[in-house]
């Protein structure tokens, strides 16, 4: 006998959960599916109950059909390649939505589009697209790897619909670069913070290293002294972000002279050169920008500034890639319009401060 449960979604709309429970000859079967309209839910119940009344249909329905949430759990558990932190967080978040409670066989393109609509409340289309991309990975392997009735074609169809409806879009390319005046504000601020509180993060050094090395925030915090090749002025960047692969993608990158001097000025009291967390760096940078009235500046924009500087200094695409670590030179084509105008950081007044030997932290016994 089928039942319909009315539930409020996160976005304020109403969903109708149709459920059927059939038991015959010792075999029991349950299914559930969500609809936007009650008549559609009632029609599905009538259709499925008729289909399951046919000879052999109930036995065939006993093929393993876990929920989408359970498929996500198996995906994260079975992956021999360690998943990135962002992917794990996104998949965990997806499990909190109604779609995760559906059996794999009930996850249609309509269900995925409804999920995309729910995600779009308070999120940019680019973010919704990232969620969909991570969920697609589960669809891609669930059937061939485990025999789960999760249909990749339903996800493909949902992608097309979500894009046409404007629910998803490709990531926009940021072109924000910090001005010299903004960098001066930040360096002055963080210098004053260190004077008042010597135990505070040495953000002046972190910012300068990010700029001159073009390294991402997470990459900076992972660099160990053992990964630094001082003689060749290069560093092994572990788990470098790259489309299709991150974990295990270790790349040797050239360190410009300024970046090498900043690294060598750090105390060797910890295996990592910059033994700080990305959360702490991000929070400090965001707070400082808000306090100083610097709008729409992200820590990652320092990498864009650093790569732009290389082209302003006359570096070619291959030479710039040797520093930035870009595997595909195509990714650097956006910088080819930058004119060679010399190095505006030559004689930068803050360079002496960030390359002076940094005292080791005091340990009290």
Helix (H, G, I), strand (E, B) or coil at 20: strand
Distance CA 159, CA 165 (A): 10
Asked whether the beta carbons of 224 and 275 are under 8 A apart, the reply is no
- What tokens were used for 168? 């998803």
Best CA proximity match to 75, nearest among 156, 155, 158, 139: 139
The residue written with tokens 């965990």 in the block is 92
Asked whether the beta carbons of 67 and 89 are under 8 A apart, the reply is no
In angstroms, the Cα distances linking 261 to 107, 190, 226, 264, 274 are 55, 20, 16, 5, 14
339 contact partners, CB below 8 Å, separation of at least 6? 312
pLDDT tens sequence for the chain (365 residues)? 688 888 888 778 888 888 888 877 666 777 788 888 899 989 988 888 888 787 777 666 666 788 999 999 999 888 776 677 788 889 999 999 999 999 998 999 999 999 999 999 988 898 999 999 999 999 999 999 988 999 999 999 999 999 999 999 877 677 889 999 999 999 999 999 999 999 999 999 999 999 999 999 999 999 999 999 999 999 999 888 765 555 557 889 999 999 999 999 999 999 999 999 999 999 999 999 999 999 999 999 999 999 999 999 998 888 888 999 887 777 787 777 777 788 999 999 999 999 999 887 654 43
**Residue 354 burial (10 A CB sphere; 0-12, 13-18, 19+):** buried
Distance CA 131, CA 136 (A): 9
Question: Which pLDDT belongs to residue 209?
Answer: 97
Question: Which pLDDT belongs to residue 242?
Answer: 65
Query: Is residue 17 within a helix (H) or strand (E), and if so which, with residue range?
Result: strand 14-24
Asked whether the beta carbons of 237 and 290 are under 8 A apart, the reply is no
Question: Which pLDDT belongs to residue 87?
Answer: 85
Question: Which pLDDT belongs to residue 365?
Answer: 39
283 contact partners, CB below 8 Å, separation of at least 6? none
Question: Which pLDDT belongs to residue 44?
Answer: 87
Question: Which pLDDT belongs to residue 61?
Answer: 61
Q: 35 forms bridges with which residues in the sheet?
A: 16
Question: Which pLDDT belongs to residue 276?
Answer: 94
- What tokens were used for 82? 């360690």
Distance CA 213, CA 222 (A): 14
- What tokens were used for 247? 């974990």
């Amino acid at each position: 006998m089928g039942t319909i449960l009315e539930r409020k979604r996160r976005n304020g709309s109403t969903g109708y959960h149709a459920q059927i429970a059939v038991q015959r000859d010792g075999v029991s079967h349950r299914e559930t599916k969500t609809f936007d309209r009650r008549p559609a839910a009632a029609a599905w119940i009538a259709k499925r109950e008729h289909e399951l009344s046919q000879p052999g249909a109930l036995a065939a329905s006993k093929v393993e059909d876990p929920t989408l949430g359970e498929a996500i759990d198996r995906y994260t558990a079975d992956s021999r390649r360690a998943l990135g932190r962002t992917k794990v967080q996104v998949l965990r978040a997806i499990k909190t939505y109604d779609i995760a409670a559906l059996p794999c066989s009930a996850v249609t393109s309509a269900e995925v589009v409804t999920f995309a609509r729910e995600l779009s409340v308070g999120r940019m289309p680019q973010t919704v697209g990232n969620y969909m991309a991570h969920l697609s990975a589960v669809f891609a392997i669930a059937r061939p790897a485990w025999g789960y009735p999760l249909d990749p074609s339903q996800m493909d169809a949902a992608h097309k619909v979500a894009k046409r409806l404007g629910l998803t879009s490709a990531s926009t390319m940021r072109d924000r670069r910090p001005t010299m005046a903004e960098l001066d504000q930040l360096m002055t601020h963080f210098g004053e913070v260190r004077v008042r509180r010597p135990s505070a993060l040495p953000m002046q050094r972190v910012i300068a290293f990010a700029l001159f090395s073009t390294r991402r925030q997470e990459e900076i915090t992972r660099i160990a002294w053992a990964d630094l090749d001082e003689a060749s002025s290069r560093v092994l960047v572990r788990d470098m972000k790259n489309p299709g692969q991150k974990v295990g993608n270790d790349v040797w990158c050239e360190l410009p002279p300024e970046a090498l001097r900043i690294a060598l000025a750090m105390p060797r009291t910890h295996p990592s050169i910059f033994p700080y967390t990305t959360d702490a760096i991000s929070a400090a940078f965001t707070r400082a920008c808000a306090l100083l009235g610097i709008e729409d500046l992200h820590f990652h924009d320092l990498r864009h500034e650093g790569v732009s500087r290389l082209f302003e200094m006359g570096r070619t695409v291959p030479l710039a890639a040797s520093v930035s670590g870009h595997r595909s030179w195509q990714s650097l084509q956006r910088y080819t319009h930058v004119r060679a105008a010399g190095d505006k950081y030559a004689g930068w007044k803050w360079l002496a401060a960030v390359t002076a030997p940094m005292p080791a932290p005091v340990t009290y016994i």
